[in-house]
């Protein structure tokens, strides 16, 4: 996996950020979701290198990026701070302006990045999410049952941490394997990497802090944006799985059109893990949108 890529580390405000870098052309930042790492892009990354300078980054608390210390405010794992990580890394690599494609938790970071650093984001593609605030405010029983981890991981420490740490591989396989395509959708080498990283010390707490931030400080930031009528102004392409929970429970494109001035999107014939379930279709979408 990632033939021709270089593994790089960058220190930013006491946090070490890890990324794989490869290719030539306009810069393209890739951000992963939970409970995965940058490796989730392995089925599309090499193809993208023919057209772009690809940066596949591990979010703080995930993969081989460091586990930042946190406190009761959860600010260290706010999407605002995680977006600052991404901007700092891209600027360190010489990219003042770049395109972004992001999935799941990484897409929530990308949403905040595009709001707070609009001058840095040329085009934005988000995979299988609706806006965080809209999803919490529109929670139904069906959504809560399918996305049980949204409500489990935000409970006070150390209960959810202990639950993950008791058997981190079981937790990961439960989250990923119970969705549309099952655990067989994942390349064994990629799955082994996800399992390695979720078992690293501090990962369980970092994951919980990511979700606690989304249910607290991130909502404060999102409500402030809504009150100020701030919206995304760069071209936005939204894709979601036709067999996934987000598309079943929410009007994905309608919710994004409410907070973005130039948005388009559609469902793909897959579940939540688009880059691994439907890589060829995603590659076509990315080439058409980013080229």
Active-site residue set = 104, 272
Token digits of residue 211: 């979700």
Distance CA 96, CA 62 (A): 24
Peptide bond into 213 cis (omega under 30): no
Are 92 and 15 in contact by the 8 Å Cβ rule? The answer is no
For tokens 């930031």, what's the residue?
Answer: 221
Question: What DSSP state is assigned to residue 127?
Answer: E
Q: How many CB atoms lie within 10 A of CB 19?
A: 26
Q: Which residues pair with 29 in a beta bridge?
A: 55, 100
- Among 126, 77, 80, 81, which residue's Cα sits nearest to residue 99? 126
Q: Which candidate, 194, 134, 205, places its Cα nearest to that of 169?
A: 194
Place of tokens 């494609």: 101
Of the candidates 202, 219, 228, 232, the one whose C-alpha atom is nearest the C-alpha of residue 80 is 219
Q: Which of 225, 253, 218 shows the shortest CA–CA distance to 239?
A: 253
Nearest 5°: CA angle at 239, between 132 and 96?
75
């Amino acid at each position: 996996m990632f033939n021709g890529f270089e593994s790089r580390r960058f220190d930013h405000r006491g946090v070490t950020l890890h990324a794989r870098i490869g290719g030539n052309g306009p810069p393209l930042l890739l951000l992963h979701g939970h409970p995965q790492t940058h490796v989730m892009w392995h089925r599309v990354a090499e193809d993208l290198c023919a057209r772009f300078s690809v940066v596949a980054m591990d979010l703080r608390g995930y993969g081989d990026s460091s586990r930042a210390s946190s406190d009761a405010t959860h600010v260290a794992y706010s999407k605002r701070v995680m977006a600052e990580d991404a901007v700092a890394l891209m600027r360190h690599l010489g990219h003042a302006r770049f395109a972004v494609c992001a999935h799941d938790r990484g897409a929530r970071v990308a949403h905040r990045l595009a709001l707070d650093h609009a001058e840095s984001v040329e085009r934005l593609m988000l995979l299988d999410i609706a806006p965080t605030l809209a999803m919490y405010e529109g929670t139904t029983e069906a959504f809560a049952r399918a996305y049980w981890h949204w409500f489990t991981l935000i409970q006070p420490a150390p209960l959810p941490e202990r639950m993950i740490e008791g058997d981190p591989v079981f937790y990961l396989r439960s989250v990923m394997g119970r969705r549309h395509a099952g655990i067989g959708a994942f390349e064994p080498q990629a799955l082994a990497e996800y399992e390695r990283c979720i078992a690293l010390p501090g990962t369980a707490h970092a994951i919980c802090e990511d979700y606690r931030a989304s249910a607290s400080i991130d909502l404060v930031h999102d409500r402030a944006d809504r009150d100020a009528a701030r919206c995304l102004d760069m071209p936005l392409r939204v894709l979601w799985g036709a067999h996934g929970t987000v598309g079943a429970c929410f009007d994905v494109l309608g919710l994004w059109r409410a907070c973005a001035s130039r948005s388009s999107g559609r469902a793909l014939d897959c579940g939540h893990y688009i880059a691994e379930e439907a890589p060829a279709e995603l590659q076509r979408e990315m080439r058409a949108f980013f080229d």
